[in-house]
Chain A
Amino acid sequence: MKKIALSLFVIFAFAAYVLYVRIIGTNVPFVVLTPEPNKPKTSLSLPKYGGNTNTNTNVTPKSKSIPTTNNLKYKDGNYIGKTIDAYYGNVQVRAIISGGKITDVQFLDYPQDRQNSIRINTRAMPYLISEAISVQDSNVDTISGASFTSAAYRESLSSALLQAKI
C-alpha cells in the first residue's frame, strides 16, 4: 500500500512538473509581448538597428525655451497665407483654426511642374500589378503624401498664423 501511494505521488509530481513547464514555456513570450504599461520597454517592438532604444523614457528636450508659435491661442477661422514665390513655382497655404488650435493646413497653390491631365497608359510592368489611378472618396483617418517642408511653405503658413493670433 505504501509503495502504491509513493509511486502515485511520484507520478503525480512528475505530471505536475510537466504541466508547469508547459504552461510557463508557452506563457513566457506572452509576458514579454505585453509589457506592463508605464514600464520602460526595452527592445521587443524596436527593430534591430540599435540606436536610441532606451533614450525614449527620458526625452527631456534640451532647450525648453524654443521660440515657437505653437503654444499660442488662435482665433477660430480660416486664414489664408501669402503667396510665396518658390523657385519652382508659387506656394500658398490656408490654416484652419478650431477651438483655438490648428486643425488643418491646406494647399491653395503649389508648384505644378507635372502635367495636369493624366493620360491613361496601360503599359504593364513585368509581374507587378499596374492600374490607372482614380480619385476615391476622402473618408479616411489621415492622408499620406510627400512632405511640404520648403521655406516658401513655412513663410506662407507663418503669415496665415500671424493673422489668426489673438
Chain B
Amino acid sequence: MKQVQIIMGTPVAVEIVDREANQKLFDEVFDYFKYVDEKFSTYKDTSEISAINNKKNKGENTQNIFGGMSKDMKVVFELSLETKKITNGYFDIITPSGSYDTSGLVKGWAIFNASNILKTRGVKNFCVEAGGDIQVSGRNEKGEAWSIGIQNPFNKKREIIKKVYLGNNEGIATSGTYVRGCHIYNPKDKNDKLEEVVSLTVIGSNIFEADRYATGAFAMGQNGIFFIESKENLEGYAIDKNGVATMTIGFKKYIKE
C-alpha cells in the first residue's frame, strides 16, 4: 500500500508492505512530516525557523535566540553543528545571506524519525521517501531487497542511470544542482559554483546519515566522493558534468542484488 502527499513542497511517499497497513499509520507519518514542515520551513512566515531568522535579522542576541528555541529546533541546531564539524566545515546552515536554513539536514532527520514511528508501531517492511531521499526497511512487495534508481541528472524525464539494491535498512540520498539551480554552496568559497559535480548519491546506515553527508560532501565539489570513500559505513556515486560517474569501492555491493 502506497500513498503520496505533498509536504515540505515535495512529494512524500510512504509504502507499507506489511499486511497490517492501515490509514491511521499513513496519517501518523504524514502528520509528522506536516509538523516538521510547520516548524522548519523557511517558505512559511509562521514557522519557528522564520521567527528565529526575523530575530536574527533584527540583531537580537544569539543567546536569547537559542534560549527560546523549542526542543526539536535545538536538536536540529545541535545536529547541524555536529555535521559541520564532521564535514570539516562544508555543511553549514548559515546561508550566504546570513540567515539559518536547516533544509540540508532536516529532511533526512524527518524521514528518519518518521521511519521510527512505523518501527515503533511494529511495521517491518516499508519505504519512506521525501523528495528523492529514501529510508527502506525490510523487503519490498516481492519479498526482495528494495530496488532504487539513481536519477539521470541530465534528463528532465525520470530516467534512471544506475540501479541499487538495499536489503539492510539503509538510507539513500542524492544532492544535486540540476533540479533547482545551485541550492548548495561551498561555505568556504562563495564564488565556487560547484559546477564540476552535478549529482552525488550517498548510501548510509540510515537516511539521516546519508542525507547530511550527501549535502556536506556535495559542497566539496570533486573531492566529495573521496571524502565519502574515507568514511566507514558510507558509499557514494558521483556524476560529473561530463557524464562520468565515480563510485566508492564499496558501492559495488549495492549494484548486484
Instruction: Give the Cβ gap from B1 to chain A, nearest Cβ, in Å.
Output: 11
A28 interface residue per 8 A CB criterion: no
Q: Which 4 A-B pairs have the closest CB atoms?
A: A37-B122, A145-B151, A118-B243, A146-B176
Contact across chains for A141 and B242 when beta carbons are under 8 A apart: no
Complex-state Cα separation, A154 to B76, whole angstroms = 24
CB-defined interface of B7-43 with A at 8 Å, one 1/0 digit per residue? 1111101010000000000001011101101110001
Number of interface residues of B (CB under 8 A): 100
Instruction: Give the Cβ gap from B219 to chain A, nearest Cβ, in Å.
Output: 14
A153 interface residue per 8 A CB criterion: yes
Number of interface residues of A (CB under 8 A): 79
Contact of B132 among A40, A52, A141, A144 (CB under 8 A): A144
CB-defined interface of B160-204 with A at 8 Å, one 1/0 digit per residue? 111100000100111111111111000000000000001101000
A interface, CB within 8 angstroms of B: 37-41, 45-47, 49-52, 55-57, 59, 61-63, 66, 68-70, 86-89, 101-116, 118-123, 125, 127-151, 153-154, 157, 161
Chain B residue nearest to A95 (CB atoms) is B6
Contact across chains for A70 and B6 when beta carbons are under 8 A apart: yes
Contact of A146 among B146, B153, B154, B163 (CB under 8 A): B153
Complex-state Cα separation, A38 to B167, whole angstroms = 23
Contact across chains for A146 and B244 when beta carbons are under 8 A apart: no
Contact across chains for B152 and A133 when beta carbons are under 8 A apart: yes
Complex-state Cα separation, A37 to B117, whole angstroms = 11
B interface, CB within 8 angstroms of A: 2-11, 13, 15, 28, 30-32, 34-35, 37-39, 43, 71-72, 75-76, 78-79, 82, 103, 107, 109, 113, 116-117, 119-122, 127, 129-134, 140, 146-154, 156-163, 169, 172-183, 198-199, 201, 205-206, 208-209, 225-226, 229, 239-249, 251-252
Instruction: Give the Cβ gap from A29 to chain B, nearest Cβ, in Å.
Output: 17
Complex-state Cα separation, A41 to B34, whole angstroms = 23
Contact of B156 among A51, A104, A110, A127 (CB under 8 A): A110
Contact of A115 among B30, B199, B241 (CB under 8 A): B241
